[in-house]
């Protein structure tokens, strides 16, 4: 029973980091308006004066800096997963070794070994939960940096287009492409910044890693 419990605990720890990886994979797939971007030949009628469209997700997903962020996040996620996988592999090895020795050990030693392995499994699961939260925090901070870079560009393009209203491109089924600010924003964003350094956030120490800009 102890052995089975430990194996389940450590397997759950790996699953937590895998779920974080799935979230990063989702971030790597920029959403697009279903018809406006998927079918260039869809008839949409004339552009509506002073009405504009902007897609935040498309801006992040198609810009050079957005693609860099996704790639870097995947690297950080892989590093965290490798760290946990190494510890889990060693723990599973120790569990199997203990399983072959347990019957020959005294009751007191069995209790000590059971407790030690259980504590290691629990610590590993807690570390996996922490890494998952750190990956999420890292992603949020990196994406926020991208948004802060394109926000002034969006405002400038809005003014140049004399937009009276700006709608979210993700919520529009289809629209006249000439109303879309996103391509202009992405072009200017690519000229402004293509990457910036960042590392995994460390929530256990409360340390904040600065993300200085770089072309």
Pairing of strands 165-168, 51-54: parallel
Mean pLDDT of 62-83: 94
pLDDT over threshold 70, residue 100: yes
| pLDDT at residue 162 greater than cutoff 70 | yes
In this structure, is the dihedral angle defined by the CA atoms of residues 32, 35, 39 and 42, taken in order, positive or negative?
negative
Mean pLDDT of 175-195: 95
Looking at mean pLDDT, say which of 8-12, 16-20, 103-107, 154-158 comes out highest: 154-158
On the question of pLDDT at 40 being above 80, the answer is no
Provide mean pLDDT across the span 21-27.
50
Q: pLDDT higher for 186 or 25?
A: 186
103-107 average pLDDT score: 91
Give the least confident one: 11-25, 78-92, 142-156: 11-25
Cα separation, 205 vs 154, in Å, equals 36
List pLDDT tens digits, range 114-142.
999 999 998 998 899 899 999 999 999 99
What's the average model confidence in pLDDT over 36-51? 72
Question: What is the pLDDT at residue 17?
Answer: 52
- pLDDT at position 170, please? 85
Identify the weakest region by mean pLDDT among 13-27, 77-91, 162-176.
13-27
CB of 143 closer than 8 Å to CB of 32 = no
The mean of the pLDDT values for the chain is 81
CA trace torsion 57, 61, 62, 64 (10° rounding): 130
Residues with Cβ within 8 Å of residue 207, at least 6 apart in sequence: 201
Q: Are 138 and 208 in contact (CB under 8 A)?
A: no
């Amino acid at each position: 029973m102890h052995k089975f419990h430990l194996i389940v605990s450590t397997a759950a720890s790996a699953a937590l980091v895998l779920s974080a990886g799935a979230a990063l994979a989702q971030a790597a797939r920029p959403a697009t308006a279903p018809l406006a971007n998927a079918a260039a030949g869809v008839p949409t009628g004339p552009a509506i004066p002073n009405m504009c469209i902007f897609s935040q997700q498309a801006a992040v997903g198609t810009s050079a800096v957005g693609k860099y962020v996704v790639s870097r996040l995947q690297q950080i996620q892989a590093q965290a997963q490798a760290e946990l996988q190494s510890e889990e592999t060693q723990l599973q090895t120790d569990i199997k070794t203990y399983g072959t020795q347990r019957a020959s050990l005294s009751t007191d030693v069995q209790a000590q070994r059971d407790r030690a392995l259980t504590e290691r499994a629990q610590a590993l699961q807690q570390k996996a939960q922490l890494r998952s939260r750190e990956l999420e925090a890292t992603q949020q901070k990196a994406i926020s940096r991208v948004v802060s870079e394109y926000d002034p560009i969006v405002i400038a393009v809005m003014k140049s287009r004399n937009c009276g209203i700006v709608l979210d491109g993700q919520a529009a089924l289809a629209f006249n492409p000439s109303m879309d600010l996103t391509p202009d924003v992405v072009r200017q964003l690519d000229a402004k910044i293509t990457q910036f350094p960042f590392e995994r956030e460390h929530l256990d120490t409360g340390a904040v890693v600065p993300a200085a800009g770089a072309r």
